[in-house]
């Protein structure tokens, strides 16, 4: 991890801890989870929003006014809205993606959930998702929230990442392993 990424993550974790504790004390974790989903969607879908939080061109006042208007328009809770305004005055909005990730992790831990990143060769139907979630729950002992993406380069199978563990059943990795074995023999 680069030094700047480490600093950004540290800043984000401190803000995330403060926001999480405030929401937990106020029994507003469900509101916080909704706010995190809303912010994540905005970061993913809006180039203008990403530009606002990353660009040094905007003054503190302009960034603060814009983020306040956006927070109101999104219907964010007072805790999250005020935190975003504070981050704007401190020129810390650039850590918003890391803040969202840190908050997701804290909410999941509080709920006894883990997040599994699943890459599949084709779109999974509801039955497959349910079966995979149940299998992972049995193996891990916690509820599993899955982020499923399609990666056709896998040819077939899945790659599942839960924390630091990875299960790779893709045909592409099996072909690669076979190719390496054949090189060793030949």
Mean pLDDT split into 10-residue runs, the chain, 186 residues: 75 96 94 96 95 93 95 96 95 95 92 92 95 94 91 94 91 92 84
Domain count across the chain? 2
Q: Could you tell me which of 33, 77, 36, 71 has the C-alpha nearest to residue 52?
A: 71
Last residue of a domain, one of 109, 131, 161: 109
86 & 20 share domain: yes
Last residue of a domain, one of 54, 76, 109: 109
pLDDT single digits (tens) 111-129:
989 989 999 999 999 999 9
104 & 121 share domain: no
8 A C-beta contact, residue 103 and residue 36: yes
* pLDDT value at residue 74: 96
What is the CA 56 to chain-centroid distance, rounded?
24
pLDDT single digits (tens) 36-63:
999 999 999 999 999 999 999 999 999 9
99 & 138 share domain: no
Last residue of a domain, one of 64, 80, 109: 109
Alpha-carbon distance of 45 to 134, in angstroms, equals 31
174 & 98 share domain: no
pTM greater than 0.85: no
28 & 104 share domain: yes
97 & 122 share domain: no
What is the CATH classification number for the domain harbouring 90? Answer: 1.10.520.20
What is the CA 63 to chain-centroid distance, rounded?
24
104 & 117 share domain: no
* pLDDT value at residue 85: 95
Alpha-carbon distance of 154 to 151, in angstroms, equals 6
- Domain containing 129: what range? 113-185
């Amino acid at each position: 991890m680069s030094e700047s990424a480490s600093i950004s993550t540290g800043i984000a974790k401190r803000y995330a801890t403060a926001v999480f504790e405030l929401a937990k004390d106020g029994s507003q974790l469900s509101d916080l989870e909704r706010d995190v989903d809303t912010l994540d969607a905005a970061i993913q879908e809006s180039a203008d929003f990403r530009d606002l939080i990353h660009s040094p061109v905007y003054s503190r006042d302009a960034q603060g006014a814009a983020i306040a208007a956006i927070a109101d328009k999104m219907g964010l809770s007072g805790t999250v809205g005020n935190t975003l305004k504070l981050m704007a005055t401190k020129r810390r909005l650039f850590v918003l993606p890391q803040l969202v990730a840190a908050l997701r992790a804290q909410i999941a831990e509080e709920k006894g959930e883990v997040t599994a990143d699943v890459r599949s060769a084709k779109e999974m139907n509801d039955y497959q998702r349910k079966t995979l979630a149940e299998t992972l729950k049995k193996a891990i002992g916690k509820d599993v929230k899955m982020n499923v993406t399609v990666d056709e380069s896998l040819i077939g199978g899945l790659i599942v990442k839960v924390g630091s563990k990875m299960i790779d059943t893709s045909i592409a990795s099996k072909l690669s392993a076979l190719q390496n074995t054949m090189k060793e023999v030949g």
